Structure 1
Amino acid sequence: MTVLIAGIGNVFLGDDGFGPAVAQALVERGDLPDHVRVVDYGIRGLHLAYDLVDGVEALILVDALPGDAAPGTVTVLEVSTGDLPGGAGLDAHAMDPATVLATLHRLGGTLPRTYVVGCRPTNLDEDLGLSPAVAAAVPEAVAAVDVLLGKLTTGGT
């Protein structure tokens, strides 16, 4: 099974750099199987959309995730077509992850089995580097990715 792990986020907006930080940690660890590709997409959502059109069997998005949980809380979600907004256009300047995934059909692709490993941010202001709570969550997110890879490899749910 081909798996794409996509780090999403703007490293110039504090904790929005969570996805790229997790992608970097996974690459630096260097022990992923050949069928798993890790890419730091940053804010290049359209690039991600076209990579998905080329075909992968599973996608793990890693990104800062809004919510009511305490900052630094890691959450894993499974995403289906029904979770995506309708009527997505091709505006390269508004390609948040949900819009990227919703755009796939218009580009000729289909949504692969998709998970989000998200972390509740503390700070999304212009700032380089993660807050202490979000930086401390990076190893937990890496472990969550490992659990998902195990499920995908064994065919579990």
Structure 2
Amino acid sequence: MNPVPAEVPAVPALKAAARVLVAGVGNIFLRDDGFGPEVARQLASDSRLLGSKVRVVDYGIRGMHLVYDLLDGVEVLILVDAVPAEENGEQAGSSVGSPAGSVRVMGIRSEHLDGRAALDPHGMNPAAVLGRLRTLGGELPTTYVVGCVPADVSEGIGLSDPVSAAVPGAVSAVVSLLARHALVNPSVTA
């Protein structure tokens, strides 16, 4: 995926029955890779944050499940995941790039995706999942990534301190994106 953080897609006019999916992705057994599932868990635990048209799912590493849900008709997708320190692939912990725990919001369009990425039915590679959506008869909805730079993706359970501290900011970022689309509970301010 080649995210473009500075360019968030324009907010399209949504139908009255708009469907929004907030997808937490990542492997909880690889420490900070469990960032997406943890943000999804916190969002789902506070129904005050979400409007009635918003569905929050912890997909973990179930890429095919996400594909099928997208084929069912989603107009806005917000992926929450661990992301590299830099767009050019620099690893977290290097002297260059964003520090661990940094939250980035990126807009994704179909031209950012590599349609050749292999789709593993037992894994979760968001670029592969979204890149193959069209070959399965679907279209990429308005898509955002709320990502966090990991500190530790070694085997183990539990987020590192900087990534754990970033979870509330990511929840706020998701709520702000929903507010842009008028899909957040009106009584909540992000």
Question: Are residue 113 (structure 1) and residue 130 (structure 2) matched?
Answer: no
- The structure 1 segments of at least 4 consecutive aligned residues displaced by more than 2 Å after TM superposition are 86-91
SS in 2 for 1:138: helix
How far apart are 1:89 and its partner, in Å? 4.3
d(CA) in 2 for partners of 1:87, 1:111: 15
What runs of 5+ residues in structure 1 fail to find an aligned partner? none
**Equivalent of 2:171, from 133, 142, 147?**
142
d(CA) in 2 for partners of 1:138, 1:89: 30
d(CA) in 2 for partners of 1:107, 1:150: 30
Per the alignment, residue 124 of structure 1 pairs with 153
Paired letter, 1:55: G
How far apart are 1:46 and its partner, in Å? 0.9
Per the alignment, residue 29 of structure 1 pairs with 46
**Equivalent of 1:65, from 83, 107, 114?**
83
Q: State the TM-score, normalized to the length of structure 2.
A: 0.78
d(CA) in 2 for partners of 1:89, 1:120: 24
SS in 1 for 2:172: helix
What runs of 5+ residues in structure 2 fail to find an aligned partner? 1-17, 86-96, 184-190
d(CA) in 2 for partners of 1:90, 1:130: 27
d(CA) in 1 for partners of 2:69, 2:123: 17
Paired letter, 2:165: A
Q: Relative to structure 1, is the Cα distance of residues 22 and 95 closer, same or farther in structure 2, using a 3 angstrom cutoff? A: closer
Per the alignment, residue 8 of structure 1 pairs with 25
SS in 2 for 1:153: coil
Q: Per residue, is there more helix in 1 or in 2? A: 1
Q: Is the 8 A contact 2:36 2:80 kept in 1?
A: yes
SS in 1 for 2:77: strand
How far apart are 1:94 and its partner, in Å? 4.8
Q: Deviations over 1:61-108 (max 9, x none)?
A: 000001220000000000000000022444314540010000100111
Structure having the higher Rg = 2
State the superposition RMSD in angstroms: 1.2
d(CA) in 1 for partners of 2:171, 2:45: 11
SS in 2 for 1:11: coil
